[in-house]
Structure formats: structure tokens, C-alpha cells
Structure 1
Amino acid sequence: MTKRDPVFPADRHALYEKHAYSAAIRSGDMLFVSGQVGSRSDGSPEPDFRTQVRQAFANLDAVLKAAGCTFDDIVDVTTFHTDPENQFPAVMDAKGEAFPQAPYPSWTAVGVNWLAGFDFEIKVIARIPTTA
């Protein structure tokens, strides 16, 4: 059996230990990133939704960097939203900053009713560059 090859950002937040999961798992040249939320370092959610989304993207960026990746290496995105219709503008703003031009990664958005106290979560699959 192949052992998991976990990846954690330099400033890992408390949620990884609290809920017993890895920020990401490296498998060959692929990186499978766990859902990132807009958490502060103590694991608490940012109260303002727009700030929470931006923090989720910042947390995702930190995980990608720890694996030698950037947003350009992302091939697939799944986002989870507690109120998709009303949250869409804030998410699209952050998405536009992370992915300013085509080609864009594939993207699936899912409406949910619970995210452990958060209102937005983003998980991705990225290809690790050969130089990483």
C-alpha cells in the first residue's frame, strides 16, 4: 500500500487537527486539496461573507504554495455554498481575481445547508509542475 503524502501550509490552522484531515495529498503529479474555508488561524470563521471567501482563497493559495503549485496549476474546482443565489457576486469577484483569464479550470458549485459554521468552501485538484 502506498502511504499518503500529505501537504500542509506553513501556517496551518487549527481545523486540520480538530477534524483530523490533511490540507492536501500529493499523488504522483496530482495534488488533491481538501476543502478550504475562510478560517482564521484558530479555526474560527471570518464573520463577513466577502472576507470569508477571500480568506478561503488565501488558505487555498497557502496550500498550493506548500506543494509548489499556483492557481494556474488547478484543473478542477468544487465550491460549496450555503446561500448560492445571494453569495454568487462575492464568490465571482474572488474567482475573477484567482482566475483572471481563460483557460479556466472546470468548476462545479454545490448548494449545501451546513459547512460546520462556515458559508463557503473550495476544494481543488491541481497538477504539480515538474519543477516543484
Structure 2
Amino acid sequence: MQLIAHNPDKGVYATGDWIHAMEVRGAERLLFVSGTMGLRPDFTAPPTLEGQLDCVWNNLRAILASAGMTTDNIVRLTSYLRDPAFAEANARARNVALGERRIPTTAIVVQTLESDWLVELEIVAAG
């Protein structure tokens, strides 16, 4: 599989810790992951944003592993945040989880189904 970043520097605004587009060539599989919450196995949410971000990335790693994939296979991410103030912490957690990899990403501020659910992540992975 070949991943080709498309991040033009002319005619469109600059990016930072993400890219405009990712072309995937030669992928045999695509994995579309439902919005995943920062919930523990007993369906409870850690009380802090940092706890939920840690939990949601652990949940995503487990889901990816069940498909024989890792965070290196993620080619698209959408973040749903309960509060716009969560954007910076969410970006930091994403950068820790992905290391130097940059992928197309979108963050949207939403009202979650439960008031103690602070973040939800939805990904597409390819392999």
C-alpha cells in the first residue's frame, strides 16, 4: 500500500499538524470505524478530557488490532468535541498517537448524547 500526501502550498490555506488529503494506492482493505468514545469496558467515562482521550485512543488501538492493523493504518480522522476548548488537547493526543504521521482530520463541536462524554473519534484505516 502506498500513501501519498497531497498538501499544496499554493491556492489553499496552509496546514499544521494535519494535511489536506491522503491518496491511498494499492490498499487491499478499508476499515471504517464507528464513532468511538473514551469509555472504559464497563461503559463509564473517565472524568477528565485527558482521561477520555487516553481511553479513546486505547479503544481505537484495540479495534484496529482486531483487524490486524495499527494507528499506522489510519488515513482519515474526524473528532467530535463537546467544547471548542478541547481542540488543543485533542490535537496533542492525536499527535502522540500518530507520531510524525500527518493525516486529513476534521474537528467538529457537537452536543454529545451524554453530558459526561467529552470526545468521540471516527477513523478510516487502510491496509
TM-score (norm 2): 0.73
Q: What are the within-5 Å matches in structure 2 for residues 93-112 of structure 1?
A: 93-102=92-101, 104-112=102-110
Query: Percent sequence identity over matched residues?
Result: 32
Gaps of 5+ in 2: 1-27
TM-score (norm 1): 0.70
Partner residue in 2 for 1:124: 123
State how far apart, in whole Å, the 1-side matches of 2:82 and 2:67 are.
29
Letter in 1 for 2:107: A
Please tell me whether the aligned partners of residues 87 and 107 of structure 2 are also in contact (alpha carbons under 8 angstroms).
no
Deviation at 1:37, TM superposition (A): 0.9
Superposition misfits of 4+ residues, deviation over 3 angstroms: none
* Greater alpha carbon shift after TM alignment, 113-122 vs 54-63: 113-122
Deviations 1:1-44 (A, max 9, x none): xxxxxxxxxxxxxxxxxxxxxxxxxxx61101111111011111
Aligned length in residues: 99
> RMSD value over aligned CA atoms?
1.3
Q: Secondary structure at the match of 2:61?
A: helix
Q: Secondary structure at the match of 1:95?
A: helix
Gaps of 5+ in 1: 1-27
Deviation at 1:91, TM superposition (A): 1.1
Letter in 2 for 1:40: R
